[in-house]
């Protein structure tokens, strides 16, 4: 079973896009539940993203990529 890692909603405007500032893990890494895996930014608001589950992560979005809020940015198997 896979679990999606979602870009958090940091702005009231659902059309606002954000950036994955930094990944702290790489594709193929094993992650633990609640492990810090990324930092994202919308406008001037930065937020940490924790793993929602334990497993092996596959990154879907590279660093500095612009994505919409609530988009899937990684998958954990």
Question: Has residue 1 got a pLDDT over 90?
Answer: no
Predicted TM-score of the model (pTM): 0.91
pLDDT on residue 15: 81
Domain CATH number, residue 12: 2.40.50.100
For residue range 29-69, what is the model confidence (pLDDT) as tens digits?
999 999 999 999 998 889 999 999 999 999 999 999 999 99
| Exposure on the CB side of residue 34, measured as CA atoms within 13 A | 0
For residue 49, give the nearest of 6, 2, 17, 4 by alpha carbon: 6
| Residue-range definition of the domain harbouring residue 51 | 3-76
pLDDT on residue 10: 86
pLDDT on residue 26: 98
Please count the structural domains in the chain: 1
């Amino acid at each position: 079973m896979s679990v999606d890692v979602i870009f958090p909603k940091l702005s009231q405007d659902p059309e606002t896009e954000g950036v994955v500032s930094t990944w702290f893990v790489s594709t193929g890494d094993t992650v633990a539940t609640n492990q810090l895996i990324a930092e994202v930014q919308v406008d001037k608001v930065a937020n940490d993203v924790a793993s929602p589950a334990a497993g092996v992560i596959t990154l879907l979005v590279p660093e500095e990529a612009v994505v919409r809020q609530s988009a899937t940015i990684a998958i954990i198997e």
